[in-house]
Amino acid sequence: MEAIISTTGLDIRNILPFWMQQHLVKRAATAVFIKQRSKLYKLVDDIIKVKRASAEKGDKNAKADLMSFLIAGDGSVDGLTDNELRSNVITFIVAGHETTAVSLAWCFYSLAKEQSVQARLRDEIRVALSSKTGERLTYTEIEGMEYLNCVTKEILRLYPAAALVPRESINADVLGGYQIPPNTTIMLAPWVTHRSGDWDQPLKFIPERWIGWSGPSGVKRLSYMPFSSGPKMCIGHRLATLEMKCALIDAVNKFELKLLPGFVVKEKLRVTLRPEPSMTLLVSEIP
């Protein structure tokens, strides 16, 4: 975990423009990064060896997971090489673990504040689970849970994990009347856009606003972009939202979330939009 956190932190800082990160990336920090990256590479390489050996033996009892599918390929082409596997696994870790965790922290906080939303979500979850006999919900069943989808969208509107998204202009352009030269760093701010006056009661947590929503279109398509937008939007946005939904289904079904008396949290923009201080809630198991 130390290797993952250290490697993740410095890698993400390196995507920021120099004027934002020059005080963060020091020579000593780079040395730590290289050391921890080597540990992470070895850990992933060892897992790949075990998975490949299991696949070659045709072990039917082996757990089917994402790496197993990457190794096997889709039948029409060979699976990925070891280097390709390592790159993909580390990308999942670096790009996916903190963003989803932060989004879930804000989600649990919002549900603890709004008990009626939490109760309605729990009702929907339990209705969906009542038809299952020890089996997991399928992807189609999860995507069909309307209120769960609403809660997820509303959290990503109010608390987009990537509150700032850096982009670089390729050609000269004009934005809002400003001349933008080529090779200029532009910071998009989904956090600001999502809380603009274009939304009804923009600062309130209202999952119901998404009922019947089919997605923005035309100019308004950029009014909601928790994963950025266009051809360079987050390639893992579907996986991230599915992870959030699966975690919510398990947590809200089993536990009741409440705020600690007097607990006050603020949004702290670091690499992601983290809670400050760390999120602390009252969690009670329920039948």
Residue 234 annotated as binding? yes
**Terminal Cα-to-Cα distance of the chain (whole angstroms):** 33
For residues 161 and 102, is the Cβ–Cβ distance under 8 A? yes
From first to last of its 287 residues, the chain has per-residue pLDDT tens of: 555 445 445 444 455 555 455 555 556 667 777 888 888 889 889 988 988 888 888 776 667 778 888 887 766 666 788 888 898 888 887 777 888 999 999 999 999 999 999 999 999 999 999 987 777 899 999 999 999 999 999 999 999 988 888 888 999 999 889 999 999 998 889 999 999 988 999 999 999 999 988 766 655 677 899 998 888 888 888 989 999 999 999 999 999 999 999 989 898 887 788 888 889 999 999 98
Task: Return the amino acid letter for 19.
Answer: W
Domain edges within the chain: 1-80, 102-285
Query: Among positive and negative, which fits the CA dihedral 41, 74, 142, 230?
Result: positive
Residue 88 contacts residue 108 (beta carbons within 8 Å): no
Q: Measured between alpha carbons, how far is 257 from 213 in angstroms, rounded to an integer?
A: 27
* Multiple choice CATH, 102-285, 1.10.630.10, 2.40.110.10, 3.30.1330.40, 1.10.10.10: 1.10.630.10
- Containing 190, the helix (H) or strand (E) segment is helix 190-194
Contact 242, 139 (CB under 8 A): yes
